Amino acid sequence: MSEAPVVEARSLEKRFGGLVAVDEYDLRLERGDLVGLIGPNGAGKTTAYNLLTGVLKPSAGRISLSGRDMTGAAPYLMARAGLARTFQNIRLFSDLSVVENVMCGGHTRLAASTVATMLQLPSFWRAEERLRQTSQEIVERIGLAELAGQRAGDLSYGDQRRVEIGRALAGQPQVLLLDEPAAGLNPSETRDLVSFIRQMNEESGIAVLVVEHDMHLVMDLCKRIQVLNRGKLIAEGTPEEVQGDAAVIEAYLGAGRKERAHA
């Protein structure tokens, strides 16, 4: 593994016309990092995610993955460079089975070439077998072994979230971006999720960035937290530091009434 951080974003900026959605956003994720990105609604968290994953092209700034400059690269190239993500509003391949969803995530890494597939060469059969085996293992890891053959669209909300993570893991990413992974989960599902993320992070060293509204989850899970407000980073530090930060408290609770009256 190279010394360069797995993700390095410098001064990312995104403008939609006159609106600056994200301004001067910096992120540095090392191997094994577990960072939370929080902020009030409309702070630009999802825009920041879309910039990092290549869904949106930044208006300014640079992104590099493991030392390689990827600014402006398409999402599939970002994914191939080791960056995987999940979506706030779950985006599965609903009509495919659970294991097939995971297999799609491993397609670029493990599948045979187009030519080998069309000619059904032995290398195709080997690759297909390996892909199935790896995906089966991941399906077991995310605890859905019994549902492997089920249509993904028919699963419960919590299970669908797991499938998304499984699909992301199949690409063997260096970094995983989770967009509100606990949204819609009940408390016990959330606990399972937290321990799964922590375990994945510790065992495989995958760097994780989490956007989440559940403050308990973020403070409990993350080693470092970034706070975004109106597109700007207003604080970064350990959960304790961030919780005590005046700017953060102001962003979430608003400035005191007195103060505003004087302003």
Partner 1 sequence: MSTSHETPPVKLDARVTLPRSGFVAAILTVLIASAAVFAAQQGLSSYVVTLLALLFINAALAVSLTLTNGLTGLFSLGHPAFMTVGAYVAAILTFPVTRKGTMLPGLPEWLAATQLSILPALLIAGAAGGLLALFVGWAVLRLKGHYLAVATLGLIIVVQGLANNWDGITRGGAGLSGLPRLVDVWWAFGFLVLVVAFTWRLKFSSLGRSMMAVRENELAAQCSGINPARLKILAFVIGAVLAAVGGALLAHLVSVITPKTYSVLLAFNLVVMVVIGGSGSIFGALLAAAAITILSEALRPVEESVGLYGLSQVIVAVCLIIVLRLRPSGLFGSGEPGLVRRLYSGRRDA
Contact status: 131 vs partner 1 (CB under 8 A):
yes
Q: Is 172 exposed, middle or buried (0-12, 13-18, 19+ CB in 10 A)?
A: middle
Closest to partner 1 by CB, 120 vs 238, is 120
The minimum distance between CB 46 and partner 1, in angstroms, equals 13
Minimal distance, residue 68 CB to partner 1, in Å: 15
Burial class from Cβ neighbours inside 10 Å (0-12, 13-18, 19+) for residue 222 reads: buried
- Residues 202 and 21: their CA atoms lie apart, in Å, by 33
Closest CB to partner 1 among residues 110, 248: 110
In the complex with partner 1, the residue whose CB is nearer, 135 or 229, is 135
Separation of alpha carbons 73 and 52, rounded Å = 10
Alpha carbon distances (Å) from 31 to 3, 34, 124, 130, 241: 9, 9, 33, 27, 22
149 sits near partner 1 (criterion: CB under 8 A)? yes
Interface mask toward partner 1 for 56-95; x: CB under 8 A = ------------------xxx-xxx---xx-x---xxxxx
CB 47 within 8 A of CB 25: no
Closest C-alpha to 233, from 85, 64, 36, 22: 22
Residues within window 152-171 making contact with partner 1, judged by CB under 8 A: 167-171
Q: Indicate whether 10 belongs to the interface with partner 1 (CB under 8 A).
A: no
Contact of 191 with 182, CB cutoff 8 Å: no
11, 156, 199, 238: residue in contact with partner 1 (rule CB under 8 A): 199
| Residue 94 or 238 with smaller CB distance to partner 1 | 94
Segment 14 to 53, residues that bind partner 1, using CB under 8 A: 53
CB of 109 to partner 1, least distance (A): 7
Task: Provide the CB-side half-sphere exposure for 94 (13 A, CA).
Answer: 6
Residue ranges that bind partner 1, judged by CB under 8 A: 53, 55, 74-76, 78-80, 84-85, 87, 91-97, 99-100, 103-105, 107-112, 114, 117-118, 120, 124, 127-129, 131-134, 136-138, 140-141, 143, 145, 148-149, 167-172, 199, 203-204
